[in-house]
């Protein structure tokens, strides 16, 4: 074969060598592959975080412009508000009642036993209203509305319907992402306020029925409200709005960034994990910083 290749060449001409084969991915040493995998994983996580930050700013920027609030956008906002708030009401009531039953009545009982009943207000404000309520409301929003959004948007993206919208001159960010994010933010605050009120009232009813508290309902509520500081009045609404906002946005983005390889089996867990992380991180950051 080499003789045939050099047959027409003059003597002394070096035989052309085939170019060296490019190294294949599998040929790389194990440490390089490990490094590449780590980089890929990190890049993926950071890119979602950057996207979340950029889209957060985008939603706020669009929300203050009157032209963004076209009738289609207002309609989407109303539908999401109804779905997330009215739809989530029953779940929030049941969860709040159980929390009140399990936590408030127990707190009142054990603080009474320990002779620290006067701390009930500040304990309930710190643990229940400031920490637990935003977390549980975030989880309710994520489960009832966030996962629905992930599925709906994932299907829209995979079915080419997002592209259809773009071809009709409808910006999916304006029509879908902005109203859903804002509606879920408002819904988070509404559900959170109801959740805290129901949990406190339910806890009081159970405690009164068991005889662990002798106060009237108004006195009990007055103790809770008196225990709230200015910081609490800032942190609690901030947490509820922020968690609703970020759960909505993270769900929208997870759905809209689905690739053609994605199906529900891959999309749903991703949306859930991102949602949980967003809830936890937001809650912790706001507790630490405000």
Partner 1 sequence: MKATDPVLELAAARPFFDQSALPNTRFDLRLMAGECALVVTHDADRATALSDLCSGMLDLRDGAVRFMGYNWSELGHEQTYALRGRIGRLPQRGAWIGMLRTHINILLPLLHHTREPLDSLVDQAVELARQVGLPGLPIGRPEAMPEADLMRAACVRAFLGEPRLLLLEHSISADSDELITPLLNLLTRALDRGAAAICFTRDSRLWRTQAFPLAHHLHLLEDGLNPVRSVREKSRQRDATERERTD
* Contact positions vs partner 1 (CB under 8 A): 70-72, 152, 155-156, 159-161, 163-171, 175
For residues 42 and 161, which CB has a smaller minimum distance to partner 1 in the complex? 161
For residues 33 and 163, which CB has a smaller minimum distance to partner 1 in the complex? 163
Closest CA relative to residue 256, chosen from 185, 184, 170, 163: 163
For residues 161 and 259, which CB has a smaller minimum distance to partner 1 in the complex? 161
For residues 63 and 170, which CB has a smaller minimum distance to partner 1 in the complex? 170
For residues 68 and 250, which CB has a smaller minimum distance to partner 1 in the complex? 68
Measured distance CA(116)–CA(183) in Å, rounded: 41
In angstroms, what is the minimal distance from the CB of 61 to partner 1? 12
Closest CA relative to residue 283, chosen from 230, 236, 228, 251: 236
**142: number of CA atoms within 13 Å, CB side?**
25
In angstroms, what is the minimal distance from the CB of 174 to partner 1? 8
The secondary structure of 52-84 as a DSSP string is HHHHHHHHHHHHT-GGG--HHHHHHHHHHHIII
Measured distance CA(221)–CA(125) in Å, rounded: 11
For residues 24 and 65, which CB has a smaller minimum distance to partner 1 in the complex? 65
Measured distance CA(157)–CA(85) in Å, rounded: 26
In angstroms, what is the minimal distance from the CB of 50 to partner 1? 19
Q: Which H or E run includes 99?
A: helix 87-99
What are the φ/ψ torsions at residue 222 (nearest 5 degrees)? -65, -40
Two structure tokens written together for 231: 């910081």
In angstroms, what is the minimal distance from the CB of 156 to partner 1? 7
In angstroms, what is the minimal distance from the CB of 165 to partner 1? 7
In angstroms, what is the minimal distance from the CB of 245 to partner 1? 22
């Amino acid at each position: 074969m080499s003789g045939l290749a050099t047959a027409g060449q003059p003597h002394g001409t070096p035989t052309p060598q085939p170019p060296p084969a490019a190294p294949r991915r599998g040929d790389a040493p194990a440490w390089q592959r490990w490094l590449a995998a780590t980089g890929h994983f990190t890049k993926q996580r950071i890119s979602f975080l950057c996207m979340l930050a950029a889209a957060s700013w985008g939603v706020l920027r669009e929300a203050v412009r009157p032209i963004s609030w076209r009738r289609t956008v207002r309609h989407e906002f109303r539908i999401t508000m109804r779905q997330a708030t009215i739809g989530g009401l029953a779940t929030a009531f049941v969860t709040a009642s159980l929390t009140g039953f399990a936590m408030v009545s127990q707190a009142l009982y054990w603080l009474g036993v320990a002779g620290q009943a006067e701390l009930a207000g500040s304990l309930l404000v710190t643990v229940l209203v400031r920490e637990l309520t935003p977390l549980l409301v975030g989880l309710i929003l994520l489960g009832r509305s966030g996962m629905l959004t992930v599925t709906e948007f994932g299907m829209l993206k995979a079915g080419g319907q997002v592209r259809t919208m773009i071809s009709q001159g409808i910006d999916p960010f304006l029509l879908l992402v902005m109203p859903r994010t804002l509606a879920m933010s408002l819904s988070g605050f509404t559900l959170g306020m109801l959740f805290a009120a129901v949990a406190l009232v339910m806890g009081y009813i159970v405690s009164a029925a068991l005889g662990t508290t002798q106060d009237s309902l108004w006195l009990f509520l007055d103790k809770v409200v008196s225990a709230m500081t200015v910081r609490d009045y800032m942190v609690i609404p901030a947490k509820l709005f922020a968690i609703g906002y970020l759960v909505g946005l993270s769900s929208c983005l997870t759905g809209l960034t689905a690739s053609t390889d994605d199906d529900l089996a891959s999309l749903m867990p991703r949306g859930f994990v991102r949602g949980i992380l967003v809830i936890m991180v937001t809650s912790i950051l706001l507790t630490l910083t405000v």
